[in-house]
Amino acid sequence: MKVSDMFITTVRAGPAEAEIPSHILLLRAGFIKKLVSGIYGFLPLGNRTLKKIETIVREEMDGAGAQEILMSALQPAELWQESGRWGVYGPEMWRIKDRNQREFCLGPTHEEIFTDIVRQAVSSYRQLPLNLYQIQTKYRDEARPRFGLMRSREFIMKDAYSFDRDEAGLDISYKKMYDAYTRVFTRCGLDFRPVEADSGAIGGNNSHEFTALSEFGESNIVYCSECDFAATDERAEFKDEVQSPEEAMELEKVLTPGTKTIESVCAYLKADIKHSIKAILLQVAEEEGDGLSFVLALIRGDRQLNMTKLINALDVPEYLVTMADEEKMSAVTGCVGGFTGPIGIHDCKVIMDSELKGTVNMVCGANEKDHHYTGVCEGRDFKADKVVDLKLLREGDPCPHCGRPVKTARGIEVGQVFKLGTKYSEPMNCVYRDENQVDHPMVMGCYGIGVTRTMAAVVEQHHDDNGIIWPMSIAPYHVDIVIVKAGDPEQTALAEELEKKLEAAGVEVLLDDRDERPGVKFKDADLIGIPIRITVGKKAAEGIVEYKLRRGGDMEELPAAEAAARAIALVNAERRG
């Protein structure tokens, strides 16, 4: 492909709204183009890389026995009403009506659609197991679309859904997807970790997230370098510390003027922060209507609340839970901002972290301005409605498996695999008939890869100050031939001969024949990030070219034939990833 013919738009300056390298570089190198916030189009180079990622995904999914189909983006509300998700999905779902006022959404995910198609087509155990997938555009009206392809409102996802007879079958399907994902992300050149992930109110060890390590990721992972524990912080279990035995004191209300934080009250009372109870005030909105209910979450003063664990314990849609409006909550429950505690609070659900169970001689707010209680004993002085692990595991906390201090890292969630069980097949009546003519709900799994987000994640991990450094497997072209002086007959002839030779060997070539200063062409070559650059300049008359790898290493002067042979060998060694 001649660059002079190409619809290409590299841009010198970084766009103002782009904050992270992948976003800046993909825009500057002309891979993507923004339409409106969170909605991007793909230009020729971006489209080529996108198709290569899709090919890798397709090869690995097919190899794992999944079959590709393509479902519509538009989905009728009725199917979501059947599964029970129409009401609970929240404002991320893009809802629309047709001319007859029938409700639809632009699919944010496809569990309902796949369950529906399978229940219509499959009736016998003989037709199982089954795994169907698609590579398709998804719509989510994200609260904070940002970072370009990383969190967009329209994006491409590979989503697969497996259907099995039983849990044992699901375990096999799940493992196949887990292994296929490992191959996909390895082939894309990502440094990633599969970690245990949150699986919602269902709980259990039912999900893994594939996280590409990156400082700009929005996932926090915690892991142990001494054992195999690795999980998202949302999911990570916490080993409770047991309070050493002590004699219970009497409950006493004490004056603690101006001590609105846990630290200040503990300092004022000279109490160990491990002997304090932190109260977090939350409100839950009604799905329909303006009503509010209130929640008091209690954890030890030195711990941090894990919102995901709390939402799972409440078993309500995430978007309905927010920090409480203190005035409103106070009017209903009697809480007092900065001095809230469980004793005497009313008309409010109290959820307590498991570590507080059985604790004695604690400090907590007295629901009265400038007052706290001391000598608080759980069970004697207050009781919670629910007791669960609510803690966020942080750097240095004990590993839930081996007890040694954990480490933390940030990453980008590029994929997730999930055991659904009968969450959809039961309400939607997706059943099969067994050998004894008995019907059972199918046991399902779902598996997503953010195809466009993967592209951003690769750039995040593979770039330098000058631009992108594509791994061979997903580079838009393998070789960039730069003609130093456009129109020079010897340079042009040698460059075109090289191009032909490389293309005959299946190597994809970009030929920069533009009438631009060489510096401009080299800058663009670095920005775009083609793995191999061959420069044809002054020594073309002697058949000599310059050979350089974008990933680094010296520039070498070589006879054209040798440069071609090296390029072909390298491309063949690395093109599959």
Chain contacts with ligand ATP (rule: CB under 6 A): 109, 140, 142, 151-152, 155, 157, 413-416, 448, 450, 452-453
Comparison of 152 and 535: residue with beta carbon closer to ligand ATP: 152
Q: Which two tokens stand for residue 315?
A: 């078993």
**Chain mean position to CA 26:** 19
* C-alpha dist (Å) from residue 368 to 38, 121, 182, 190, 257: 46, 63, 55, 54, 11
- Tokens representing 8? 């290409």
Angle in degrees, 0-180, between the axes of helices 167-187 and 44-63, rounded to the nearest 10? 140
Length of the chain: 577
- CA pair distance 53, 59, nearest whole angstrom: 10
Cβ at position 463, least distance to ligand ATP in Å: 19
* Beta strand residue intervals within 268-343, DSSP E: 277-285, 292-300, 321-323
Residue 201 or residue 541: which is nearer to ligand ATP going by CB? 201
Minimum CB distance to ligand ATP, residue 33 (Å): 16
Place of tokens 């409006």: 325
Of 155 and 432, which has the nearer Cβ to ligand ATP?
155
Placement of tokens 């510096």 in the chain: 519
Between the alpha carbon of residue 140 and those of residues 78, 168, 272, 371, the distances in Å are 19, 33, 46, 46
Tokens of 26: 């993909």
Taking the complex as a whole, how short is the minimal distance between the CB of residue 447 and ligand ATP, in angstroms? 9
Would you say 128 or 157 has its CB closer to ligand ATP? 157
Q: Are 340 and 365 in contact (CB under 8 A)?
A: yes
Shortest gap between Cβ of 108 and ligand ATP (angstroms)? Answer: 8
- Residue 163 or 185: the one with the smaller Cβ distance to ligand ATP is 185
Taking residue 14's Cβ as centre, other Cβ atoms within 10 Å add up to 14
Q: How far is the CB of 218 from ligand ATP (least distance, A)?
A: 6
Q: In whole angstroms, how close is the CB of 177 to ligand ATP at the nearest point?
A: 12
Can you give the three-state secondary structure of 429-489, one letter per residue? CCEEECCCCCEEECEEEEEEEEHHHHHHHHHHHCEECCEECCCHHHCCCCEEEEECCCCCH
Least distance to ligand ATP, CB of residue 413, Å = 5
What distance in Å separates the CA atoms of residue 9 and residue 46, rounded to the nearest whole number? Answer: 11
Task: Give the type of residue at 506.
Answer: G
With CA atoms as reference, report the closest residue to 476 among 507, 514, 516, 518.
507
Cβ closest to ligand ATP, residue 140 vs residue 303:
140
Q: Which is nearer to ligand ATP, 185 or 522 (CB)?
A: 185
Amino acid identity, residue 12?
Answer: R
**Residue number with CB closer to ligand ATP (139 or 547):** 139
- Smallest distance from ligand ATP to CB 122, Å: 24
Q: Give me 453's structure tokens.
A: 């987000």
What are φ and ψ of residue 480, in 5° steps?
-115, 115
Shortest distance, position 452 Cβ to ligand ATP, whole Å: 6
Structure tokens at 115: 């369950």
457 class by beta-carbon count within 10 Å (0-12 exposed, 13-18 middle, 19+ buried): buried
Cβ 568 to ligand ATP, closest distance in Å? 34
Q: Which is nearer to ligand ATP, 374 or 416 (CB)?
A: 416
Residue linked to tokens 């390590």: 213
CB of 217 to ligand ATP, least distance (A): 9
| Minimum gap (Å) between residue 73 Cβ and ligand ATP | 15
CA atoms within 13 A on the CB side of 234: 21
413, two tokens:
């969630």
- Please identify, using beta-carbon distances, which residue of 40 and 294 lies nearer to ligand ATP: 40
- CB of residue 174 vs ligand ATP: minimum separation in angstroms? 15
Shortest distance in whole angstroms from residue 448 CB to ligand ATP: 3
The residue among 159 and 499 lying less far from ligand ATP, judged by its C-beta, is 159
Q: Which is nearer to ligand ATP, 231 or 376 (CB)?
A: 231
Nearest to 156 by CA among 253, 67, 305, 50: 50
Contacts of residue 560, Cβ cutoff 8 Å, sequence gap at least 6: 494, 497, 498, 536, 543, 544, 545
Contacts of 67 (CB under 8 A, 6+ apart): 130, 131, 132, 133
Nearer to ligand ATP, 235 or 453 (CB): 453
Nearer of residues 90 and 338 to ligand ATP, judged by Cβ: 90
| Closest residue to ligand ATP using C-beta atoms | 450
